[in-house]
Amino acid sequence: MSKHPFILKLGAFVHQSPGYSKEFIFEHPQIQFTDDFSVNDLDGTIVVTRSQQGVLLQGNFSGDLQLECARCLEKYDHALEWDFNELYFFNDQDATKEDFILPDDAQIDVKAIIKDEALLDIPINPICKEDCQGLCQVCGTDLNHHDCGHKELPLQEDTDDEEHSPFSGLKDLL
Binding site for Zn ion (CB under 5 A): 69, 71-72, 128, 132, 136, 138-139, 141, 148, 150
Least separation in angstroms between CB 165 and Zn ion: 26
Strand pairing of 100-101 and 75-89?
Answer: parallel
> Is the CB of 12 or the CB of 153 nearer to Zn ion?
153
> Is the CB of 18 or the CB of 149 nearer to Zn ion?
149
State how far the Cα of 88 lies from the Cα of 8, in Å rounded to an integer.
12
Q: From 73, 23, 16, select the one nearest 48 (Cα to Cα).
A: 23
Q: Amino acid identity, residue 129?
A: K
For residues 45, 39, 11 and 90, what is the CA-based torsion angle, rounded to 10 degrees? 90
> Is the CB of 87 or the CB of 135 nearer to Zn ion?
135
Least separation in angstroms between CB 130 and Zn ion: 10
- Residue 83 near residue 120, CB atoms below 8 Å: no
Least separation in angstroms between CB 70 and Zn ion: 8
> Is the CB of 112 or the CB of 138 nearer to Zn ion?
138
Least separation in angstroms between CB 8 and Zn ion: 38
